Structure 1
Amino acid sequence: MADGGYEKEVQVMKSKLLKQDIMKAIHDLSQFGQDECGGLTRLLYDEHWVAAQRHLKMSMEEAGLNVHFDAVGNLYGSAKGSRYQDQTILIGSHIDTVKNGGIYDGQYGIIAGLLATAHLKKHFGDPVRNIEVVSICEEEGSRFPYVFWGAKNVLGLGGKEEVLNIDDESGISFVKAMQGAGFDFCDEKTPPRTDIKAFLELHVEQGCVLEKQKKSLGIVEGIVGQRRFTVELTGESNHAGTTPMSYRKDAVHAAAEMISKILQRCREHGDPLVTTVGRIDVKPNVVNVVPGQVEFTIDTRHPDRKVLEDMTKDIREIISTVAVCFDVDYCLDMWMDENPVPMDNALTKIIETECIRNGVDYMKMYSGAGHDAQLMAQHVPTALIFVPSHRGISHSPHEHTDGEDLAMGVETLIATLYELAYKDEVKGIQVTA
């Protein structure tokens, strides 16, 4: 279809893509995994996960897509391209949830991809290159101590040896759960896919920035890097009444001083640097004993690697200085060091152009949480789109996004997919034959 026809179609898109269709699809999918606490618990390879994937398979088939599972349980529905069948625009998100999670995290991105693809096929026919919707089997790490199993296998990176000896909290092994759901490891001799030319993920923000800024859409420029630490302090336990303050080796007092200084250093630097002390364990944890041991965690995130390195230097300096001052020993273990991951500039520019063309009130932003796009972006051109989360609540039954915002996200996805999958050439993206 000529661009002029497309322009006309865009103007009436909102009347054709009703938010009720999105809400109904989310409601129907959310039947699989509803828990007694009012949330959604759908864990990798459990019975609710299996039922949800089967439901999506049926929905994809009803939309006229070619549907198949891969070996590990990622579900794909594709609209075959009329010209470039060796080129695929992949869209989707993850089907698993956290325990007692919300109904938008993950599954909204799958539903959005399905509705967008069905809309394009109905109004424009077959794309020139493949559009493939993927329901990624796992991202959250909620059942097993392992994350991105789904995306890794999409990319041909799933390491069999990494999951052979891990169990869930009930003692069920990863392999037994996978095989019980009807899946198994991918054939290691199968070469990685080379047809994926772009990956798009539409997701609820899981933060309050868009709502606070009164924006309908966020175009993510990058996913922040993360460093996580465990700090162990060893002082001396002693009597709370008979040990003068000047003679104490109080591990809690030292920890409090460290935490205060570290968080203050972060506040002085300003956004988007964030630092969190999320867990503190005290021993002996008795009301009338000076605590001799403390263990606490530090999580710090920023989209610039250099800032993370500087913050790490500050953390080390503060802990060392305070430990000497309070006469306590310390051990600092940095057990996570994830680099920031930028999204593809050409893809984000296409999305921005479509937002401007269609009057979408958007902003550019960074993601403070990890997503499938984080892994995909390290291997294929990737873009991540956010819609607002009410009060920033996520991983909770109280997670909520307004239907108008959900629809705006899908409409933007439709416009972007048209540019990527219905045109012979796409500026900045290597998709031509």
Structure 2
Amino acid sequence: MSAEHHPLSLEARSWRGRQDGKPTNNLAGLNQYGGRRISSDQIPTLIAALEGMLRQGLSRQQMLRDLKDKHNMPLSRTTLFRWLDRLQLGTPRKPVHTDQQVGEAVLTVLNDDILHRWGVQRVAYKVQMSQGVTDAKRQYVRDFMRTHAPYEVLSRTPGQKKIHKTSLWSIGIAEEWSGDGFEKLGRESFHPHCTSGRPKVQEVRATFLFHLPTNINGLEGVPLRLVVDRGSETIQVGALARALRSQFAPNIEPDVLPPFLQVKSVYNITIERSWRGLFEDELEAIAVAWDAGVRAGIYRPHRRDESYTARWVWARTVQLKLDQYMFEKNNMKIRQQKRSHLPCGHSPDQMWFHPHEYNLDNCLVPVPDYILDQLIELYTPVGLFEFVPPHVGEFLEGVYSRFGRPILNIHSAWNVYQRMLTEVPADIWEDE
């Protein structure tokens, strides 16, 4: 046998593997996904990741990207479709839930909307996020709501459109953060405070949201500019914003782009506009549920044991609702807008974590973690998030754990409060 026809020769190998006799550059016959099968111990992680992505409404391309970047599972598009079919994870195009199951999920969500404020888009998203029915079609949800609650759906039909004189634009994420504390939302010492980031009024990403002033922990930096209203409590915040940017972004001239800006409340629309949706969609229902318990005589504020127990239970109920609102707000897709100068049809989180895919810049000024930790410790008052004395909080935490840590929401909070109150001895408050 001659050398040029030897099975191991380069010429023979270049012609091997093709039935039509044409040469190939893929000598091994493998592609970029070869040798990367999902092992048995990775399957639970894959299932949880796919379920979470479907609830967030990510596209297939975004799923492949997140599986590769966050979970180190590089899959091909075909393999992803096979796993979705194998795990029977429903999508609107390939549903696995019956109409009855979708209707029951819609009723469960509508049961939480005691003020009848939620529209079709919000209900459909909550069905997808909280109920796990990822294959619910919006048209079916709309028809179901029109049949089940025609008056509420009709009352939400807009009668006229607002004309916006100008459109917003931004160079990228963290270019500007708007901050505000709105005491008008407060009921019984529950005062929400929030900071949000642009690029757009309709695309506000809730950076953090607590029922008391909070910090910038976990954000790994500060924005190019912080915008607040002209309240006296913002003076210290302005000094802090100027100091951080001058130290960690000294190349940006403060005269060209001020690190801190105070405007009238009517112009601080990025955050001011968010309060109405938060109050009408979530917090007002909590206020109604709280008032219902007070009127029913369940809670008597002059009794110290009842006052402390109610504060402890409802503080956690409010915080859980705010956490849910923030998660849904950040992962809910923004509707398509033809005249918008900024990306639409994607969730704020997708634009926040992958700005370059939407022609946005990452304007976040990096700040070391230890600096942020020191600032948090310095500016956080002692007992800021404690609604009851420490020894009372420890006792109530133990009672709550003994009951199995039941779910807290507007329907169950007063029941949990009454159950916990039966375990509270009369002398527990004497050590205060």
TM interval, shorter chain, is: under 0.3
If each structure's helix is expressed as a fraction of its own residues, which one has the higher value? 2
TM-score of the aligned structures, taking structure 2 as reference length = 0.24
Q: Which has the higher relative contact order, 1 or 2, with Cα contacts under 8 A spaced 6 or more apart?
A: 1
TM-score of the aligned structures, taking structure 1 as reference length = 0.24
If each structure's strand is expressed as a fraction of its own residues, which one has the higher value? 1
